[in-house]
Amino acid sequence: MAENGSKHGKVACLLAAGFEDSEFRIPTDRLRQAGYQVDIIGMKAGEKLQGEKGKETATTTRGIGDADVDQYIALLIPGGYSPDKLRADDRFVQFVKDFDATKRPLAAVCHGPQLLLTAELVRGRTLTAWKTVQGDLRQAGARVVDQEVAVDDNWITSRKPDDLQAFSAKLLEELDELEERTGVQAPNEQALPPLA
């Protein structure tokens, strides 16, 4: 058992109001059921965020100013209006850049890849996203595929709520492989090393 009380490590979930309800709920439920702790990172800790459809409310675990990429085994970016709001704040963009540099699993669904786009990370990468985001990604030099899950190195991307079961399953599969490959499970108070 990890020091944080979870069976495995902590997963960072970047979130703002207007997130797509199911794109937050389904992956976070699957992660928690598998024994991962999910930290919801927003503008500030303790903030209540309402989903776009009003079905879900999430309370942020910590603010972006207190978030450290080295404490997380994976990064989750749900879609909806949330990513567009987050990418207007340079701290979230830098968090995504810094997390990507660790080569640990980074999962973005629907409009989530907008943060990857703003972080200028998509050129030459293969990914998918919501249909209206796909054109922006192509223009930025990404190889865009229209399929339920795209995997490119440490990235896992999906298009829409219909893809969430496959998206969540692939994220858990990648986390299992990471733990098997590296022996890294739960980050505690010590920083996780970047993966080669």
Write the Ramachandran bin of 141: left for phi over 0, alpha for psi from -120 to 50, otherwise beta: left
One-letter-per-residue 3-state SS of the chain: CCCCCCCCCEEEEECCCCECHHHHHHHHHHHHHCCCEEEEEECCCCCEEECCCCCCEEECCEEHHHCCHHHCCEEEECCECHHHHHCCCHHHHHHHHHHHHHCCCEEEECCCHHHHHHCCCCCCCEECCCHHHHHHHHHCCCEECCCCCEEECCEEEECCHHHHHHHHHHHHHHHHHHHHHHCCCCCCCCCCCCCC
Residue numbers annotated as active site: 110
